[in-house]
Amino acid sequence: METYLSLVVKRSYPDLIIYAGEVTLGEKVRNKKDSKKRKLEKTRITQAACALLNSGGGVIVIQMANQSEQPERMGQDLETSLRNLIPSLDLQAFFETKQQEDKFYIFVKSWSSSPEDDSTKPRICSLGTSLYCRSLTSKVAMDSRDAFYFLKKKKAYIKCSPTDDRAPPAKIPRTMSQKSLESNPAFEIFQSKKLEYGQRLLFSESTSIEFKQFDTENAQKYMKDIIPEYISAFANTQGGYLFIGVDDKSIILGCPKDNVDPDSLKIVANEAISKLPVFHFCSSKDKNKVSYETRVIDVFQEGNLYSYLCVIKVEPFCCAVFSEAPISWMVDKEKGVYTLNTEEWVRMMVDVGPEAASNDLSRDFECQLSLSDSPPHCRPVYSKKGLEHKVDLQQHLFQVSPDCLKYTPESLWSELCSQHERLEDLVNQQIRSFSCGLLILSRSWAVDLNLEEKQEVICDALLIAQNSPPILYTILGEQDEQGQDYCTRTAFTLKQKLVNTGGYTGRVCVMTKVLCLSSQNNIETSGSSVSPIDYPSSYNLANIQEMQDLLQALVIVLLNFRSFLSDQLGCEILNLLTAQQYEILSKSLRKTRELFVHGLPGSGKTIIAMKIMEKIRNTFHCETDRILYICENQPLRDFIQ
């Protein structure tokens, strides 16, 4: 699709920034615009907004085509298309706009349903689901809430009847299963060899019967156009008959024989139906497609062949049939904005984690982050019962107290200060305007986040303070052109992980600042090539509660590891290190060249060893094959390979 080309993902910001190009804004001005152009603009904004909602949040930057000194509303059509993306009316919880000179910014928060919703909302936003169903005598498009219910129900039914995967599952409500397609009055007509032009059928449209008239201009194109949605609707409901060539008074007209050849009608139908994307929750081995039969029946007038009636009999489908791929986007700094395929989309929609599935899990583990109310990319996080909770871990590692700004870990701070004379002044000067919060120091925040270290960096410091957004300071010895890049990359990864791993659902962007010990006046180097985005005050941490929420997300980011249960449960879940394990891991590798980890069996030595090797690789920039690992441990070896 060409429209993609106009969405540019900017790399030089510590956030996902999508440049959506020139757009005319304002109610009246937009209404005057050529409708085609207006629609293209709307598509760009919608794609960008959908992608950001599904990918951790970010900013859409719009170049205002109509430069106006006055603040503008976006325009009703744009707002409506944003409203269609989100299964909630509380749009202001996800979108915030700002106009500045000739730019218009839409700040987009990551999608997540609120905890009060009891996991009743889909996990991702979509512009369209491409799922249809029959509702009385009509075909109706499911919106994303409808689709979410539909998919959840299908998934639940499949679980109830694991024995015979091919047949529609047993626990389907009576109205759905009872009436077989053979007992339907339409079956007789479906089986007939010839019919009479103008004959009136003895039944009308119903949930399982639809009449369409041929568009005689181009019968084949008409078939191709209407088939996907009707077949999806019948297959997703209770099956049925699509009559093409009957008017809505039940009178047989058919398609005049001169306009079309009966074989090609069949081919068109078969082609169109075979293209429909399907998704199986059942373990249907051959991934069977929609089961249907097409009949083209001769229609006679006064004894002569006059036209053809096309009837498609569609069986109810075990799982879900789409008219085309669902319409939803994600964004990635590398890949840019991309569409989800059907498989990915369904998995994102209904993924509810192992909570419901596994009783064992809830007996032995405590849920630290559930999928139901966290952003779309999150994996569920559990910790062993009896071990520290993420709240305990945050209290232990990153405690915030009112009216107090603490540097942590203290040992690292004194070590760094003793090594670098000017550091203390430099940092204090930056921090002095903040009165409540934490400055979390690290030799390298990049390494902590599994990124490659930059040798020249003395340390990184993450400020989590009240009335400020999180700020990442990178402290260099000498001025360095790559310093800002490093800081931006680290801050961006941190922000993405806070949302997509840590499950933080507030508005968040990690600001960057590069400091340099050698230069007298520390002018921020950030502004060099990039014009900074002025985030609204809602991106500041407003109170201790919000700081704690963010720090708990940080705990998950820093202490998570892939649970060994993942394979067993067939879905990736995360566990948390204990505070003790984390402290061993965060010891300086440079200082401690030899490290022995003692512990009882099952106490987590392997996990620690694996985490440390990961860290070694990032700290010393080792190629994977340049490190010699000696180990007698199976999972460790598997991991390394």
Measured from the Cβ of residue 442, the count of other Cβ atoms closer than 10 Å reads 20
The CB-of-145 to a second copy minimum distance in angstroms stands at 8
Residue with tokens 């990319």: 377
**Catalytic residue from among 41, 96, 205, 229:** 205
The CB-of-422 to Zn ion minimum distance in angstroms stands at 58
200 binds, among a second copy, Zn ion, none (CB under 5 to 8 A by kind): a second copy
Question: What's the helix, strand, coil split of the chain in %, to 5?
Answer: 35, 20, 40
149 binds, among Zn ion, a second copy, none (CB under 5 to 8 A by kind): a second copy
Scored b (16 or more CB within 10 A) or e, 467-492 reads: ebbbbbbbbbeeebeebbbbbbbbbb
Of 30, 40, 15, 9, the C-alpha closest to 107 is 15
The CB-of-111 to a second copy minimum distance in angstroms stands at 15
The CB-of-133 to Zn ion minimum distance in angstroms stands at 16
The CB-of-379 to a second copy minimum distance in angstroms stands at 22
**Catalytic residue from among 41, 96, 210, 229:** 210
CA distance 235 to 280: 13
Nearer to a second copy, 129 or 430 (CB): 129
561 binds, among Zn ion, a second copy, none (CB under 5 to 8 A by kind): none
Residue with tokens 């509303």: 73
CA distance 571 to 227: 36
Nearer to Zn ion, 284 or 603 (CB): 284
CA distance 137 to 362: 45
CA distance 565 to 188: 55
Nearer to a second copy, 177 or 566 (CB): 177
The CB-of-383 to a second copy minimum distance in angstroms stands at 25
Give catalytic status of residue 210 as yes or no: yes
Angle at 461 between CA 458 and CA 463, to 5 degrees: 165
CA distance 348 to 351: 6
Angle at 359 between CA 356 and CA 362, to 5 degrees: 85
284 binds, among a second copy, Zn ion, none (CB under 5 to 8 A by kind): Zn ion
The CB-of-151 to Zn ion minimum distance in angstroms stands at 12
280 binds, among Zn ion, a second copy, none (CB under 5 to 8 A by kind): Zn ion
Rg (CA), the chain: 30
CA distance 251 to 30: 46
Instruction: Please report, as ranges, the residues that interact with Zn ion according to CB under 5 A.
Output: 280, 282, 284, 318-319
Residues 6 or more apart in contact with residue 477 via CB below 8 angstroms: 420, 456, 458, 516, 517, 518
Nearer to a second copy, 92 or 634 (CB): 92
Nearer to a second copy, 245 or 604 (CB): 245
Nearer to a second copy, 53 or 475 (CB): 53
CA distance 547 to 286: 51
282 binds, among Zn ion, a second copy, none (CB under 5 to 8 A by kind): Zn ion
Give catalytic status of residue 217 as yes or no: no
Nearer to a second copy, 244 or 516 (CB): 244
Instruction: Please report, as ranges, the residues that interact with a second copy according to CB under 8 A.
Output: 26-28, 70-74, 76, 79, 82-83, 89-93, 95, 114, 116-120, 133-138, 140, 142, 145-146, 149, 152-153, 156, 173-175, 178, 200, 202-207, 238, 248-250, 506, 538, 542, 546
Task: With beta carbons less than 8 A apart as the criterion, state whether 43 and 57 touch.
Answer: no
Q: Which two tokens stand for residue 133?
A: 């169903």
Residues with catalytic function: 205, 210
